[in-house]
Copies of this chain bind each other. A is one copy, B any other.
Amino acid sequence: MQIDLAAAPTDPGAYDARKRRLAETFTKLYLRGAWRPLDRLVRRLHAADAAAVFAELPVAQVVDTLQAVSRPRHAARIVNEMPQALRHQVVEALPREELAELLENFRPDELTDLIQALPEDRREHPLSALPADSRDELDSLLAHDPGAAGGLMTTEFFALHEMVAVREAIDALRGYSDAEMVFYLFLTDEAGHLTGVISLRQLLLAREDAQVAEFMSRRVIRVRTDTEEEQVSRLFDKYRLLALPVVDEADVLVGIVTVDDIIDVIGESTTEDMLRMAGTRQSEMLTDSVFRVAGVRLPWLFAAFLGGLGATAVIGQYEDILGEVIILSAFVPIIIGMAGNVGVQSATVTVRGLATGAIHLRDTVVMVFKELRVGLLLGAFYGVILALYGLWIYDSLHLGQVVGLTILTNMAGAALLAVSLPMLFVRLNADPAVATGPFVTTAIDVLGVLNYFVIASLIYGL
């Protein structure tokens, strides 16, 4: 079969070719008004694949085709998998009644994500399409911190009273159609408190007349609605979980977080770390305006700007030496650059190690000494090369001594600073990723230039 995207999704080239061919077929059927074949075709595709094909088509065609899809949950899943910009356009273009049917088939957490991603002034249309009770549920979900368990969880989960028999549990499961991600059954008491968990596998292997409570596990790892998402994803990783129940302050079960949500979180949080280290926050590059992107980056650059002015002031103080030995200024870029680069390496290793848990605060002394020695080693290597270069090209022993010594001390100092600052930030409960970008680079620039001219003054005796 030519149209089966899912069966061979590992070859990106073949996948793209098939996707384009499918988009052509979609368009052909659409232009002929062949809605039934179109519906059949869409239904045979995985929602993620259908969304990828729709991303190739004009919005008006996507909207019309979606209305021809006869399984509303499938249509909802497709819209949920679409690129954000297209999803927003579809929501805007759908007539109110069709939108209502579509949104009814979103899972509560999908719906929350959809609304949250929409700019405030574009939420009116989808909100007005929701029935009152969905709107209330949405409000309560939107009230949670989007970066906490309450913002990640779905409120559509499968829980039963702890006093059921296995047969009843299986019957209940049979009646629960929208259980895409069911692999655990959570048990509660009368008041809704979480009291146990049992896996589908245990249920499958149990005698039908047994009580669930006999073999459910009572020690359930749980999080509260306000548990931060980094903490939630660490629990998934540590205990190799597939789903995690979320409780409120009174230990009442209010939702579950599933592993597929966590995969998204892990990707997003490392991306955030990387962007923060570079001094920006923006990842939605294609949809945000130029002014907005510049606005996010501007303040971070200000730290570097102040550092640069500091270096300028330092050099200004040594105008006399520069007047005598003009060539000293030629080495400013390499001296700053080498220290900055070794600093970024040390800082990245440290920040990343802290984030992944490979390094702990108690390793501070070990790490600092290690980085210092690495910096000294690298500084010695490049210091000797640069000293020889200065000696050879400019035929000056003084120049060779100055640049060689500066590289050695600057690189060691940069490594030391770049490992210490993130550690210090963690101790102060600040985000270590922030430390790298503006702080480390600025400090290295200013101190590096100062060190250079102090050494030059001493050696030239000026």
Residues of A in contact with B (beta carbons under 8 Å apart): 4, 6-7, 9-10, 12, 46, 48, 170, 173-174, 179, 181-183, 200-201, 203-205, 219-224, 227, 231, 235-240, 242, 259-260, 262-264, 266-267, 270-271, 273-275, 277-280, 282-286, 290-291, 293-294, 297-298, 300-301, 304-305, 307-309, 311-313, 315-316, 319, 322-323, 326-327, 329-338, 340-342, 344-345, 347-350, 352-353, 356, 358-359, 363, 366-367, 370, 373-374, 377-378, 381-382, 385-386, 389, 437, 441, 445, 449
Contact yes or no, B326 A319, CB < 8 A: yes
Contact yes or no, A282 B349, CB < 8 A: yes
Residues of B within 8 A of A279 (CB): 341, 344-345
Contact yes or no, A275 B219, CB < 8 A: no
How many subunits of this chain does the assembly comprise? Answer: 2
Contact yes or no, B378 A294, CB < 8 A: yes
Residues of B within 8 A of A332 (CB): 315, 329, 332-333
9 closest A-B pairs by beta carbon, nearest first, are A308-B334, A329-B329, A278-B348, A311-B333, A315-B330, A270-B270, A240-B260, A294-B377, A304-B341
Please give the distance in Å from A238's CB to the nearest CB on chain B: 5
Query: Given contacts A267-B266, A274-B270, are A329 and B352 in contact (CB under 8 A)?
Result: no
**DSSP majority for the A interface?**
helix
* Closest Cβ neighbor of A378 among chain B residues: B294
Residues of B within 8 A of A331 (CB): 312
Docked CA distance A290–B322 (Å): 37
Please give the distance in Å from A154's CB to the nearest CB on chain B: 13
Please give the distance in Å from A394's CB to the nearest CB on chain B: 8
Query: Given contacts A238-B48, A308-B338, are A333 and B283 in contact (CB under 8 A)?
Result: no
Checking B285, B326, B374, B445 against A294 with a beta-carbon cut-off of 8 angstroms, the contacting residue is B374
Contact yes or no, B271 A356, CB < 8 A: yes
Checking B4, B179, B326 against A201 with a beta-carbon cut-off of 8 angstroms, the contacting residue is B179
14 other A-B residue contacts (CB within 8 Å) besides A267-B356, A312-B330, A316-B330: A48-B240, A170-B204, A173-B201, A183-B242, A200-B200, A263-B266, A271-B356, A279-B345, A285-B358, A285-B359, A294-B378, A304-B337, A312-B334, A341-B437
